[in-house]
Amino acid sequence: MSTLLVLCESKSGKLKAVTREAVSAAAKIAKALNASVVAVHIGEVEDAAGLGAFGAGKVIQAVSPELTAYSTEGFAQAAAEVIKTAKPIAVFIPATIRGKDLGPRLAARLGHTLLSDCTDVRVAGGKIEIMRPMYAGKVNMWARPTSECPLIGLRPKAFLAEETGTAAAQVESRNVTVDAGKIRARVVEEKLQEGGPVDVTEADIIVSGGRGLKGPENFGMIEELAKILGASVGASRAAVDAGWRPHSEQVGQTGKVVSPTLYVAVAISGAVQHLAGMNSSRVIVAINKDADAPIFKVATYGIVGDAFQVVPALTEAIGKAKAEG
Ligand code: FAD
What single string gives the DSSP state of each residue in 23-52? HHHHHHHHHHHT-EEEEEEES--TTGGGGG
Q: For ligand 1, is residue 83 a contact (CB within 6 Å)?
A: no
**Residue 306 alpha carbon, nearest atom of ligand 1:** 19
Q: For ligand 1, is residue 276 a contact (CB within 6 Å)?
A: no
pLDDT, mean over the chain: 95
How does DSSP assign 223-261, residue by residue?
HHHHHHHT-EEEE-HHHHHTTSS-GGGBBSTTSB----S
pLDDT tens digits along 91-150: 999 999 999 999 999 999 999 999 999 999 999 999 999 999 988 778 899 999 999 999
**Using CA atoms, how far apart are residues 140 and 63, in angstroms rounded to an integer?**
39
The answer to whether the CB of 224 falls within 8 A of the CB of 239 is no
**Using CA atoms, how far apart are residues 211 and 241, in angstroms rounded to an integer?**
10
Q: What is the pLDDT of residue 194?
A: 65
Asked if pLDDT for residue 189 goes beyond 90, the answer is no
**Using CA atoms, how far apart are residues 235 and 55, in angstroms rounded to an integer?**
36
Q: What is the pLDDT of residue 152?
A: 98
Residues 6+ apart with CB under 8 A from 234: 200, 206, 207, 208, 209, 249, 250, 251, 256, 258, 263, 278
**Residue 270 alpha carbon, nearest atom of ligand 1:** 51
Q: What is the pLDDT of residue 195?
A: 62
Q: What is the pLDDT of residue 198?
A: 86
The answer to whether the CB of 99 falls within 8 A of the CB of 202 is no
Residues 6+ apart with CB under 8 A from 56: 6, 23, 26, 27, 37, 38, 39, 169
Asked if pLDDT for residue 193 goes beyond 90, the answer is no
Asked if pLDDT for residue 81 goes beyond 90, the answer is yes
Q: Residue 187 — very low, low, confident or very high, per pLDDT cuts 50/70/90?
A: confident
Q: For ligand 1, is residue 279 a contact (CB within 6 Å)?
A: no
Gap from CA of 316 to ligand 1 centroid (Å)? 26
pTM: 0.85
For the four alpha carbons of 295, 300, 306 and 311, in that order, the dihedral sign comes to negative
Residue nearest to atom 52 of ligand 1 (CA): 210
Q: Which residue has the higher pLDDT, 135 or 57?
A: 57
Q: Kind and range of the H or E element at 107?
A: helix 97-110
Gap from CA of 124 to ligand 1 centroid (Å)? 39
Exposure on the CB side of residue 290, measured as CA atoms within 13 A: 10
Pocket residue to mutate for ligand 1, from 240, 288, 297, most atoms within 8 A of Cβ:
288
Secondary structure (3-state) at 176? coil
**Residue 211 alpha carbon, nearest atom of ligand 1:** 52
Q: For ligand 1, is residue 88 a contact (CB within 6 Å)?
A: no
**Using CA atoms, how far apart are residues 157 and 66, in angstroms rounded to an integer?**
31
Average pLDDT over residues 45-60: 97
Q: For ligand 1, is residue 306 a contact (CB within 6 Å)?
A: yes
Pocket residue to mutate for ligand 1, from 217, 233, 236, 275, most atoms within 8 A of Cβ:
236
Q: Kind and range of the H or E element at 98?
A: helix 97-110
Gap from CA of 210 to ligand 1 centroid (Å)? 6
Q: For ligand 1, is residue 267 a contact (CB within 6 Å)?
A: yes
Residue nearest to atom 13 of ligand 1 (CA): 212
pLDDT tens digits along 62-76: 999 999 899 999 999
**Using CA atoms, how far apart are residues 193 and 191, in angstroms rounded to an integer?**
6
E strands present in 69-138: 90-94, 114-118, 120-124, 127-134
Asked if pLDDT for residue 196 goes beyond 80, the answer is no
Secondary structure (3-state) at 218? helix
Q: For ligand 1, is residue 236 a contact (CB within 6 Å)?
A: yes
Q: For ligand 1, is residue 274 a contact (CB within 6 Å)?
A: yes
Q: Residue 155 — very low, low, confident or very high, per pLDDT cuts 50/70/90?
A: very high
Gap from CA of 197 to ligand 1 centroid (Å)? 23
How does DSSP assign 138-169, residue by residue?
TEEEEE---SSS-EEEE-TTSS-------PPP
**Using CA atoms, how far apart are residues 143 and 90, in angstroms rounded to an integer?**
14
Secondary structure (3-state) at 283? strand
Q: For ligand 1, is residue 252 a contact (CB within 6 Å)?
A: yes
Q: What percent of the chain has pLDDT over 90?
A: 90
Q: For ligand 1, is residue 218 a contact (CB within 6 Å)?
A: no
